[in-house]
Amino acid sequence: MVGHDNMATKAPTHKFSSGLKKKQNPGDIEYTTKAYNVRRWHRQRIYVLRHEPLCRHCANRGETVPATEVDHIIPHRGHADPNFWRFENLQPLCASCHGRKTAKETNEKKKAKRNAYNDL
């Protein structure tokens, strides 16, 4: 096969940013996504999952399910929002509970936007 001898086959590496671009607007998808690539977030996420290893929503229902996600109780608007970093605003959830909560919040946002548009 021509051309395949020179191709490197390396596993992808993950690089953490030491900071974020300041010209982006809070709430932008790219802005929020980059906030999760900061080393500080990864350390905080690990701390939350070690401190409380079970899904909080499942535990409230009497179920024992390992947490795999760290969720913001009060939605944030990017890393500059104080709620992004507050430990009290973070909760461990399983992937299923996190998906349901995120979908509910997304639908509520869309509904609020539609209502605001209809009020014009």
Query: Is the sign of the CA dihedral 63, 59, 104, 33 positive or negative?
Result: negative
What are the tens digits of pLDDT across the range 92-111? 999 999 999 999 999 998 88
- Structural domain count of the chain: 1
Around 57, how many Cα atoms within 13 Å sit in the side-chain half-sphere?
18
State the pTM of this model: 0.67
Domain membership of residue 94 (yes or no) is yes
Domain membership of residue 10 (yes or no) is no
Domain membership of residue 12 (yes or no) is no
Domain interval for residue 44: 29-118
What are the tens digits of pLDDT across the range 51-93? 999 999 999 999 999 999 999 999 888 878 888 889 999 999 9
Domain membership of residue 35 (yes or no) is yes
DSSP-assigned letters across all residues of 54-112: B-HHHHHTT---B--EEEESS--SSTTSHHHH-GGGEEEE-HHHHHHHHHHHHHHHHHH
